[in-house]
Amino acid sequence: MLGDAELRHADLVLTSSPSARHLFRARFRLVGSQLAARRYVLIAPRLKTMDNGNACYVDHALRVRCDGEGPQPEISPFGHFVVANVSGHMLSRLVVEHEYTNCRVRVQPRTAANPKEIVPVQDLSPEERANNLADDYQQVEQLRSLLSSQGLERGKGERDIAYAVRLGKALANGYKYDVEATDAHLANLPPMIFKLRCGDCSAFNAGFVFALHAFGIPARISLGFKYGKAVKQACGSVVAPHAQAEFFAEGIGWIPCDATLGLKRLGHDPSSVLSFVQWRPAALSLAEAEEQAQLMAALPADPVAESKLLSKELQEALGKPYVATKDLAVAFARARGLEQDVAVAVVRQVVQLSGICGGEEKQSDESAAVSVEDFVRSWAAIELGKFKELGVGAGLTASSKAGVKMYEGGPYSGEPLDVKKLKENMMVQDDIERVMGHLGKSELEKVDWCTMWPYGVFLVSYEFEEKALP
């Protein structure tokens, strides 16, 4: 870990260098007495790579296939995921493969870095900023107050990375790992770790991420698997579900880290002994949600569907593409059925988090003009980024639990599927009881998953292989 002086003042950069080529294979077994459905729609996430802001992976090859000879799944590639139409008779031969070049990622002084390994800093769009700073505006104030009462508020002029490290290190002092405490607070994790001082990896990293949001630092929760020889030795499983975090430090970029039981290092150091693969962030970006709507028709309460209706209503009410924020707040209140003071607070939050007005002075100026379309898209990005139970949701969001998601129904043929006609399958890691037992979960007996879900339940088994770099 860098020293305090370096964190406060040094010219720091993010570096990334290829470390290993890793391959995951997932196979599927339908459990219980239920027969296979005639058709399934399978969704597998693409890893974020260097090209779109994740320095941990140079590339990612995603393959959905069947072993041996015979019919193969019909594949429809999207930008953020892959969709496959799978027949029920293919299940016993079905394989999903994720192959990627894993990188060692570090934060270091520019003078010590290999210039060829320095990761260029990407600018965040207004939508990205809004999505990765999102929270309910009232909950933000409560979380700031809670953190301040514990001496964990951000200091005036404190650098992004210096505050993130100070906050993360504080989670090592007087906190304990407790899976069952997290289970009791799944819908409201962000403040839990600071109130109860206990939780699992989800609670530690959710608290860390939303504390950073509260003090103006973009951050996101990473959902995926820990894997390697150390995991196998500890709990007898190839993989273990895990949550980590990333935060965006101005002038440096997206920094991966793990706040569980306190931040001990910055970066990503993969090996066959122990590594982490991020299937995806916990929250959908607006671009991901819009692409998912091409696969599954957005429900009326979905932010993508709501944003289209809101854009139409605001354009009709205001009659021009750019308006003062005070006029926007009046129209927004009417469109959303809100009290005026609430609408003003929401508009102010959207403008501040997205930066669509420019500098801080303009953000507080009610006469400053903003683009109605930029406002609506930033509002939708915030709605998507607000905390929800991790890994719960439709399609791409749910794929974070197993690296794949399946539904009975379909096939997908280029037009959005009706979500109401799809039957969601439960995806369970084959040896999850061993993992939870290792983590201190009290119920160690085999679970009859079929009694917990109305449709098909798949046990997913994983194989891991390390390859030489090309």
CA dihedral (282, 231, 100, 102) positive or negative? positive
The neighbouring-strand residues paired with 177 are 199
- Summarize pLDDT for 378-437 with one digit per residue, the tens: 999 999 999 988 877 777 888 988 999 999 999 999 999 999 999 999 999 888 877 776
Torsion of CA 408, 411, 416, 422, to 10 degrees: -10
Does 444 score more than 70 pLDDT?
Answer: no
Q: Give the rounded distance of the alpha carbon of 204 from its chain centre.
A: 15
The neighbouring-strand residues paired with 60 are 100
Least confident of 29-33, 43-47, 305-309: 29-33
The pair of structure tokens assigned to 454 is: 């109305």
Grouping H, G, I as helix, E, B as strand and the rest as coil, residue 425 is coil
The answer for residues whose C-beta is within 8 angstroms of residue 372's C-beta and 6 or more apart is 311, 314, 315, 318, 320, 321, 322, 323, 328
441 pLDDT band, cuts 50/70/90, is low
284 pLDDT band, cuts 50/70/90, is very high
Share of the chain above pLDDT 70, in %: 96
The pair of structure tokens assigned to 403 is: 């690296």
pLDDT at 123: 92
pLDDT at 398: 87
Distance in angstroms (rounded) separating the CA atoms of residues 208 and 141: 16
Distance in angstroms (rounded) separating the CA atoms of residues 377 and 383: 10
Residue type for position 213: H
359 pLDDT band, cuts 50/70/90, is low
48-52: long-range contacts, CB 8 A cutoff, minimum separation 24: 48/278, 48/280, 48/281, 49/100, 50/16, 50/103, 50/119
Phi and psi, residue 289, nearest 5°? -65, -40
The pair of structure tokens assigned to 4 is: 């305090």
DSSP 396: T
CA dihedral (406, 412, 418, 421) positive or negative? negative
